[in-house]
Structure 1
Amino acid sequence: MSRIPESYYFYKDQLRRAKEEKAKLQKEYESKINGLNDEISFLKEQIQAQHTMIEQSIDYVMKLEQQIKTFDLELSTDKEK
């Protein structure tokens, strides 16, 4: 029976370490990507909330402007009488 060369064990060990390092890096990468995705989702929610607030503010301002115009119109018709 022939003997396995010592270099085989060396490279086998190197390959095992490389696979472990690859798995570790893959987990770190996935963790970072998940963290970034969570942060992006949070920012999207904040932007949507701000967008809604701006829309509501614009609607409120438009209603106030309409009320002011109506009030001005009532005042001008009362002065004419």
Structure 2
Amino acid sequence: MNRIPESYYFYKDQLRKAKEEKAKLKKEYELKVNGLNDEIAFLKEQIRSQHTMIEQSVEYVLKLEQQIKSFDLELSIDKKEGA
């Protein structure tokens, strides 16, 4: 009867350990990638919110500028009529 060499069991055990380590590292990698994706999504949402806030601020400034121009026009008309 042919007997399996002792080295076969050693390498079989080493292969099993390597596969377990690979699975562990793969899971850690996936967790890190998912964490980074969550962080990226959060940052994108923050950027969108800041972009919206800036757009609203610019619109408000433009509205104020228009009101100032309108007041200046009214004042210049009142000065001409009063003079």
Cα distance between partner residues in 1 of 2:19 and 2:80: 91
Q: Which amino acid aligns with 2:20?
A: E
Shift of 1:4: 0.4
Structure 1: unaligned runs, 5 residues or longer: none
Q: TM-score, normalised by structure 1?
A: 0.99
Q: What residue is the counterpart of 2:51 in the other structure? A: 51
Number of residue pairs aligned between Structure 1 and Structure 2:
81
- Residues 1-81 of structure 1 mapped to structure 2, 5 A cutoff: 1-81=1-81
Cα distance between partner residues in 2 of 1:62 and 1:10: 77
Cα distance between partner residues in 2 of 1:2 and 1:65: 96
Identity, % of aligned positions: 81
SS of alignment partner, residue 3 of structure 2: coil
Cα distance between partner residues in 2 of 1:51 and 1:35: 24
Compute the RMSD of aligned alpha carbons: 0.4
Q: Which runs of 4+ in 1 moved over 6 A?
A: none
Cα distance between partner residues in 1 of 2:80 and 2:10: 104
What CA deviation, in whole Å up to 9, does each residue of 1:10-33 have, x standing for no partner?
000000000000000000000000
Structure 2: unaligned runs, 5 residues or longer: none
